[in-house]
Amino acid sequence: MIELRTPTEIDEMRPAGAFVASVLQATAAAAKVGVNLLALDKLAHDMIRRAGAESCYIDYHPSFGASPFGKVLCTSVNDAVLHGLPRDYVLRDGDLLSLDFAASVDGWVTDSAISVVVGTPRDEDLRLIDTTTRALDAGIAAAQPGGRLGDISAAIAAVALADGLSINTDFGGHGVGRTMHGDPHIPNNGRAGRGLPLKPGLVIAIEPWFLHTTDKIFTDPDGWTLRSADGSRGAHMEHTVAITEAGPVVLTARS
C-alpha cells in the first residue's frame, strides 16, 4: 500500500534523515586502508545506541535473504554492489566500497547509500561513482509533483546509458516511512510519463546502482551479498526523498 505523508510527518522524518546521513559520513570517513569491515559495522552500531535509534537491518529477513541480516550496515566491496554482509575483511588500497544504511528514529525510517574509494583510486572507479551520483541527482530532479514514477526511472537510465552502462531492474528504489521497504518499487530504467502519479507526500528512496561491464548478479555464499557475474566492480548511491508541493526534498542530504 502506498501512503502519502503530511507536511508535518515529513518534518518528523528529518531527524531520521539527519541521523542516517551522519552515520554514512562517519563510516565513509573511517573507511581507510587497514580498517576491518566489522569495525565499520561496530561504529554504526555504537552510533545507533548513542542516538537511541533502531536498526532496520539487524533482524531484517526478506524472502531473498538466507537468514536475518545480523548486522546494522551494508558493506559491499569491489565486485559486491548490494546487501554486502560485513565480514572479517581488512580494506586494501584501491578498494571500491559501497555503504548502505537505514535506521528508525522516533518511528520514522530513512535509507541512504554512498560509494567511496579506499586509498588510491582507479580512474574507472571514479567514473563509475560519478555516473552513479549523476544518475541519483537526475532521479531526484525528476521527482516532481504532477510527474510520473517512470520519469524518475527514465532520468536515471538516461545517465547510465549515455555512459555505456547496462541496467539491472531487479533491485531499485522503494517507498519508505514507518518501514524500510514499501511500495512503490522504483526501477532504475523505465519510460517517462508512465506509471504511478507523483503526488505531494510520497516519500521514496531513490537508489541507482551500476556495474562496470554487466547487469548480471549472483548471491554470495553468505546468503546476502550480491556480486557481479563477471567480477567487475559496482557503485551504489541512494537518498530518501520527499515529494512536496515545492518539489523534491532530500531528507538524507549529507553536509
Binding-site annotation: residue ranges for substrate: 83, 181
Instruction: Order the strands of the 80-82 sheet from edge to edge.
Output: 80-82, 226-228, 217-219
Q: Please give the DSSP secondary-structure letter assigned to residue 230.
A: T
d(CA 6, CA 73): 29
The answer to whether the CB of 114 falls within 8 A of the CB of 99 is yes
Q: Is 144 helix (H, G, I), strand (E, B) or coil?
A: coil
The annotation places the binding site at 83, 100, 111, 174, 181, 207, 238
Buried b (16+ CB within 10 A) or exposed e, 53-82: bbbbbeebeeeeeeeebebbbbbbbbbbbb
Direct distance between the N- and C-terminal alpha carbons of the chain, in angstroms, rounded to an integer = 33
Placement of cell 548480471 in the chain: 216
Provide the annotated binding site for a divalent metal cation.
100, 111, 174, 207, 238
Residue 12 CB: number of other CB atoms within 10 A? Answer: 15
In the block, residue with C-alpha cell 510520473: 148
